[in-house]
Structures are given as structure tokens and as C-alpha cells.
Structure 1
Amino acid sequence: MSMSGCLNYSRAVVFRAIAIFILFSLFPIVLAAQEDEAESGDDIPVQLLTGTIGMLVHPDYPPDQARLVYQPLVDYLNDVAGLDIELVVERNYHRYWLESRRNNVPDLILEDAHITAWRMREFGYQPLITTLEPMTYSLLSNAALADDQLQDFVGRRISTLPSPSLGYLALARWFPNPLQQPQMLSTASSWLDAVEMVFSAEVDAAVAPANLAARYPNLYPVATSAAVPGLTLSASSAVPDDIRRRLIEALTVLHDNPDHHAALFELDIDRFVEADPADYAGLEEWLSTIFRM
């Protein structure tokens, strides 16, 4: 090798050594910077971490009507709690339950207590708020059948919303014998629609929640389910604690806010209270009436 070749080779070796030295000198600095960035991530405003938060509501109404009923509540939370919540509506109970079993759902869900309990067990959701009054469902008949007993409705037409609505499951519990069943007609588009089918003589009786049953003194309760927590908002583990607290604080004072009266009026409830997870223990067993859990 010539003298110049040796010199070039030596320079290359030196430059390579310097490059390696610089690389390994900078590595701890870069690593430390990444660790500092990760630690500082805890201080980033939660909304930047989450972006828009979806809130799914149970399909007790057709989609267009559901948006009218639940949007005032979403507007209130976005206004008062400073959040960016987007209403999510499924078109029917079949799709709602299918996506629920896949856990292909948003991080906030407003629904009946038995499905909240199931999500708590299966996917780690936690209840945040519920209604002040517990919920019951009643089997309502007209005056002509007011003195009849449950067994008298075997073979008769009863309107309800589809499974796994709590009303449908209550009806299934009242008639556990598969050979002695009423005709369960789950074609109603809402609980109000189910009750109106009694007056149009399309059915002999209807299942209805307590708040709706109270509006009809001319219908008579044949049976009433056990009381469970009412409409419940739950959050997945992805919702940070401070967002949960803001939701609880905002919703438990909603009844004192006259500017957002429509949020409670549309839901036909008086007020929300903070939920106690212990109240949901075992409620998922309601689903075992229909499904193998």
C-alpha cells in the first residue's frame, strides 16, 4: 500500500472512531430526553390525550329520535365540563349487543344497569353516575284484563323492546317455562310505542319502565320487576380519573342548571347521583335469562 493510501486509511479509522464516540456519547442524552418527555406526558391536558370522546347510548329510541333525546345531555357536558364528547347511536338492539360483545364501543356508555354490570365484569368499565330513583319494569294491561294473573297471559300478545333490554329480560323471567310463554312482540320502536300498541289493540299488554308506567293510570300493572339502578353512565379504563371526576361533578349538579333543563327533561328523570359500584354486583346475571354468560 502506498504512503498516501496508508494515510487515507488511518484517517478513515480515526473518523470512524470519532463517529462511534459521538454516537455513544449522545445516546444517554437522547434516552434521558425521551424519558423526560414520557414523564411530562402525565401533565399534558387530558383532552389532548383523548381527543373526542364517544358516548354510546342504549337504543331505546330509533336513531333520529335518540339524537334528539340525548344530544342536550352531550351539549351540557361539552359546555359545562369543557369536554369534547360526541354522541354515538346504534340503529337497533341487535347491532348494539353485537358491537358490545366485540367490545367495539366508545369509552363512555349510557345504558341500563344490567349491561353496565356486564361491562364491569368483562371489560373493566366503571359506573360514574346513575339516576336518583331506581328502575323497575311493569307488565301493563288494560281495564278488561286488570284482574288477570301472570299465568293468564300465556299465549297472549305482549309488546316490548328487543333483547337484551331490561324490559324484555324481565318479561322472560316472569315466564321461565318455555312451554308456557306469551307471544313476545319486540317490534316496538320505543317503550312509548310498546305502550301505545295496547291502546291500538295490537297487543293485550305491554312492558314499560316505571317512569312511563306512571303516566298511564288507565293501565294496570300485572307484575313489576325487582328494582335496579337506573340509567347509568360508565367509563372504560381509558378515561383518565380527572375526566371521570369532571363528568361526575357536572352531572350531579345538572338539576340545578336552568339553562340545560332540556337535558333532564328529554330523559324524563329528576336528577343524577354518583353511582356506587357495589349496587351493580350480580346484575349481569339478568343476561343469563337469554344468553349463556
Structure 2
Amino acid sequence: MMNASLNRLVRSGLLVLVAWLGMGQVAAQGPLVLTAAPRENPEQGMQLYGPLAQRMSEALGREVQYRHPGNWLAYQRDMRNEVFDIVLDGPHLIAWRIHEIDHAPLARMPGQLMFVVIVPETDTSIQSLDDLVARRVCAVAPPNLAPLVLLSQYPNTIRQPMIHPARRGMQQAFEQFRAGECVAAALPAGFYNNILSDEDREGTRILFRSEGLPQQGFTAGPRVDEQGRQALRELLTTDGEQSTAPLLRRFAGDATRLIPVAQGEYDPHYLLLKGVIFGW
């Protein structure tokens, strides 16, 4: 009698284990999630990334769904919780995922990212970055790269500028600077050189210009195996691929394809997030 009861208990346990493993298998084979840094509203995001998700589905033989991340706080939370399988964003976040959650780089936009710190042309009290310590600098809030690149120039976290965050983008950061809310502004060089007008730039001078960082790119997480990652690399680096063309027009000018990522190219930029408290 005891043996029969024990056998039934073992069989029940095995059935539960098989069912649990089956559910795990279904979850593992469920749709992959493609996302990108929250620069667009949901409708714009679907228009930009929806066709790419479809082409990725075809390349992998497995459904890929685009999901808008909501906002920066939700984006960071879900990234840490490994909700996203395929992600497009900047070099510091790419490096973090490679270092922390087993993502692998797929391909990146051609070119480099550079940043400038500008000050009023007539302010002779600011001659070097040391003169910004404990003073307000206007910038988009971290984890935007512009303030992080600036803060990385100050090894002593006690002696740094104070970032005055602009919640509505680079234009607002510049306008706050021009209104005298800050003694300087940290901006992408492309925005300063190409988006601002000659009239806007008049009366400003560049205090600091960063070295180039690799452009933003795509990574894939552990739910995409190496065969799938290679298929995505081939898709993303195909010259003239229609699903990537809108992204390239927006982020990489005249480029016609993404390019391969060099071994270790993103690794050093993990340090941009090291020690960041507010915004990450």
C-alpha cells in the first residue's frame, strides 16, 4: 500500500515537472521583443521599427514583435529585468548589456558620436572644465550620453558640475542655457553644428569637444542563439535593405547599411555608467 502511494506521488511529481518544463519551453519559444531607446512616440516607433521586426521574423523563422518602451524609467527597468531581446540604443547602454546581461552586438550605425560643452563667449571666468565644478550645466538628463561624457572627465565624483536636466530634449537644454539657467550646456556635436542656426551659435564658444564614440547599434540577448544572431547580422548589414533604410536616414545620414561591430569596440564605454546614481 505504501509503495503504491509512493509510486502515485512520484508519478504526480513527474507530471508536474513535465508540465513546468513544457511551459518554460513555450515561454522560451515565444515572440522575441524588439525595442529601441524611447525617442519616438508609440505610433512613430511602430512606423520606424515595425517593418524591421517583420524582416527579423522572416530572417529568424520566429516572431519578432516591436514594443515601444514607454519612457526612460520604464525602459531602464525593463532592460534590467531582461524583457527585451533585440535592442537599438547608444554605446554606453550597449556596453552595459554586454557586461551585465549576456547581450551580444549585432551591427552598428556607421560613424561616430561626439559631444561638446559650450559656454557664453563673453564669460572669461570659464577657461577649462575645472571651472565648471559645482556649477550648473544644462543637458538632457542621464542616461543621455552628453552629460555622461562630460561627467566622465571628472574622476573625483565629489568635484563635478551639477547637471540641470532638460526633460524635453536638446533644444530645451540649449534654451535653458541661453536663458542663463546654467553656465554651460552639454550637447551632441551634431546638434550644435547642424541643427542650431548660425544665430543660435552666435555668442557661444566650445569649451570642450569629446573624442569620438562608436555610433549606436543593435544587440541581441540570450534568447537569440548564435545562429539567429548571425542571421540578424546579415540582415542588418545588407546594403540597401528597405527595413533599415528609415533608421539609417534618421541616424546615419547617407549610409546605406549598418556595419559590423569590431571586437571589444563598445567595451570601454561601460565605464560611462559606472558610479552614476541619478538617471541610471
TM-score (norm 1): 0.67
Contact 2:57 2:64 in 1 (8 A): no
CA distance 1:259–1:180, change in 2 (3 Å): closer
Indicate yes or no: 2:271 matched with 1:285.
Answer: yes
- Cα pair distance change 1:105/1:132, threshold 3 Å: same
Change (3 A) 1:80 1:182: closer
Residue number in structure 2 paired with 1:222: 207
Tell me how far 1:126 sits from its aligned partner: 0.2
Summarize deviations over 1:206-244 as a string: whole Å, max 9, x none.
222233233146253211233322112100121133432
> Which is worse superposed, 171-180 or 157-166?
171-180
User: Which of 261, 272, 278 is residue 258 of structure 2 equivalent to?
Assistant: 272
- Work out whether residues 112 and 230 of structure 1, in 8 Å CA contact, stay in contact via their aligned partners in 2: yes
Check the 8 A contact 2:89/2:217 in 1, yes or no: yes
How many residues are paired up? 242
Q: Alignment partner for residue 102 of structure 2, among 106, 124, 146?
A: 124
Q: Specify the alignment match of 2:86 in structure 1.
A: 108
Q: 1:273 to 1:122 in 2, by over 3 A?
A: same
Question: What is the distance in 1 between the residues matched to 2:218 and 2:103?
Answer: 10
Q: State the AA in 1 paired with 2:122.
A: A
* Match for residue 44 of structure 2 among 37, 59, 68: 68
Greater helix content: 1
- How much is the aligned-residue C-alpha RMSD, in angstroms? 3.5
The answer to whether the Cα contact below 8 Å between 1:53 and 1:108 also exists between their aligned partners in 2 is: yes
Structure 1 residue 185 and structure 2 residue 164: aligned? yes
Measure, in 2, the Cα distance between the counterparts of 1:108 and 1:260: 14
Task: Choose the corresponding residue for 1:139, options 113, 117, 128.
Answer: 117
1:237 aligns with 2:222: yes
Residues in 2 aligned to 1:276 and 1:174: alpha-carbon distance in whole angstroms: 25
Gaps (5+ residues) in structure 1?
Answer: 1-40, 42-47
**How far off its partner does 1:57 sit?**
1.7
SS in 1 for 2:219: strand
Distance 1:106 1:172, change over 3 A: same
How far apart, in 1, do the equivalents of 2:64 and 2:118 lie? 41
Q: Say if 2:80 is the partner of 1:96.
A: no
What is the Cα deviation at residue 247 of structure 1?
2.4
Structure 2 residue 227 is matched with structure 1 residue 251? no
Q: Does 1:263 align with 2:263?
A: no
Shift of 1:203: 3.4
Shift of 1:185: 0.9
| 8 Å contact from structure 1 (residues 70, 266) kept in 2 | no
Q: Is the 8 A contact 2:56 2:64 kept in 1?
A: no
Please list the CA deviations of residues 67-94 of structure 1 after superposition, one character each: whole Å capped at 9, or x if unmatched: 52674244245248736331332312x3
Higher mean alpha-carbon deviation, 225-234 vs 266-275, is at: 266-275
Partner of 2:190: 211
- Seen in structure 2, the aligned counterparts of structure 1 residues 69 and 209 have a Cα distance that, compared at 3 Å, is farther
Question: Structure 2: which 5+ residue stretches go unaligned?
Answer: 1-24
Q: TM-score, normalised by structure 2?
A: 0.70
Q: 1:49 to 1:121 in 2, by over 3 A?
A: closer
Residue by residue, what CA displacement relative to the aligned partner does 1:25-77 show, whole Å, maximum 9, x if unpaired? xxxxxxxxxxxxxxxx9xxxxxx974532123224x3x52x752674244245
Change beyond 3 A, Cα 1:179–1:240: closer
Query: 8 Å contact 1:70–1:263 — kept in the other structure?
Result: no
Letter in 2 for 1:166: L
Q: CA deviation at 1:112?
A: 1.5
